[in-house]
Amino acid sequence: MEPLERYRPIIDDFEAFLEVCQRPLGNAVRVNTIKASADRAVATLEEEGVGFERADWNPNVIRLETDSPGSTWSSFHGFTHGQEEVSAVPPVVLDPRPGERVWDACAAPGGKATQLAALMDDRGTVVANDSNLGRLSALRFNAERLGATALAVTNQDARNYSLKPFDFDAFDRSLVDAPCSCEGTIRKNPDTLDGWTEEHMHSVAGVQKGILRRAVQATREGGTIVYSTCTFAPEENEAVVNHVLETEDCRVREFDLALEHSPGVTEWDGEAYDESLERAARIYPHQNDTGGFFVAKLEVSA
Ligand SMILES: C[S@@+](CC[C@H](N)C(=O)[O-])C[C@H]1O[C@@H](n2cnc3c(N)ncnc32)[C@H](O)[C@@H]1O
């Protein structure tokens, strides 16, 4: 828990935050609307006798009273996909439309890429990329199980992603669900902070800046980008977006989010960030009894 102490100045009710971070996280699934409506998925869970509660903010997110959400009939049929509740937020904020071209720059193992395809009624193209070849097999397995046919898989370093294989020169929307120090997953992986170092945090922030810059360049004018991480460090969140505001033509946009959250920070460790970063969302574990996430929405300037 020690690395989390550095966030005491920016987290309201810090003791409640620490207390919840020490409690294990419950299981949640997302309804895969490519294969089933939320009502059908819920009926399947009821028939199987699995207890559940639907999330207020999103009827397609269901909290399950089972330790093995991947072993239910509803999961076997591809009606549901095990996905942490807050992990379902970034695709909803990106808000892709059927028929669009959408890039998921860091997609494996595919929870959000398949959610993007579902939000698009499986029409259009989701290019699901990841630089880690080993993780792509899980992504392909999930796409097949969930019936996401609008999804193409690529294996490139997103920092210098080439659009040459495509017959278009920009995406309509891009998601950068970046590699990060994963502090917000502490409830699921209690040893996640064991190897925490400032050096690692700064090194991963360099990768994040490179990927987000490329996403802005690869998205059409007026197009939308969502940047997300499952970590609390402003160095990996607001500082990354701030860097991209200074180097690329884009701006931070407001968005509605029905989950309790805090605004992005505009000052940290002697650094000041653009005021518009207040429009980002910091979702802390004690606010909704979930994991932690950071989400920012950007628009490429016309
Ligand atoms: C937070 S995970 C993505 C989770 C995924 N979006 C999901 O919802 O299932 C970050 C991913 O970024 C990938 N990654 C790391 N560096 C990358 C790079 N330079 N280019 C593309 N992907 C990268 C990692 O292999 C990892 O799979």
Task: Report whether 266 contacts 278 (CB < 8 A).
Answer: yes
Task: Report whether 174 contacts 298 (CB < 8 A).
Answer: no
Q: Is 269 exposed, middle or buried (0-12, 13-18, 19+ CB in 10 A)?
A: exposed
> What is the number of the ligand 1 atom nearest to the C-alpha of 139?
9
The Å distance, Cα 164 to ligand 1 centre, comes to 21
Residues with a catalytic annotation lie at: 230
Give the residue, out of 103, 130, 145, 151, with the most ligand 1 atoms within 8 A of its beta carbon, to mutate for a pocket test.
130
Of 202, 181, 208, the C-alpha closest to 192 is 181
> What is the number of the ligand 1 atom nearest to the C-alpha of 105?
21
Give the residue, out of 84, 106, 139, 175, with the most ligand 1 atoms within 8 A of its beta carbon, to mutate for a pocket test.
106
Q: Which residues pair with 54 in a beta bridge?
A: 62
pLDDT for 134: 96
Collapsing DSSP to helix, strand or coil, 172 comes out as strand
Beta strands in the chain (DSSP E): 27-31, 52-54, 61-64, 80-82, 101-104, 125-129, 151-154, 171-177, 219-229, 250-253, 262-263, 267-268, 271-272, 281-283, 293-300
The residue written with tokens 């294996």 in the block is: 155
Structure tokens at 114: 């398949």
Q: Convert the pLDDT of each residue in 14-26 to its tens digit.
A: 999 999 999 999 9
Rg (the chain; Cα; Å): 19
Q: Has residue 1 got a pLDDT over 90?
A: no
Q: Convert the pLDDT of each residue in 30-75 to its tens digit.
A: 999 999 999 999 999 999 999 999 999 999 999 999 888 888 999 9
End-to-end CA distance of the chain: 44
The Å distance, Cα 177 to ligand 1 centre, comes to 7
pLDDT for 67: 83
Q: Convert the pLDDT of each residue in 137-191 to its tens digit.
A: 999 999 999 999 999 999 999 999 999 999 999 999 999 999 999 999 999 999 9
Structure tokens at 267: 């000052």
The Å distance, Cα 32 to ligand 1 centre, comes to 21
The pocket around ligand 1, CB under 6 angstroms, is made up of: 105-112, 129-132, 135, 157-159, 177, 179, 207, 211
> What phi-psi label fits residue 121: left (phi over 0), alpha (psi between -120 and 50 degrees) or beta?
left
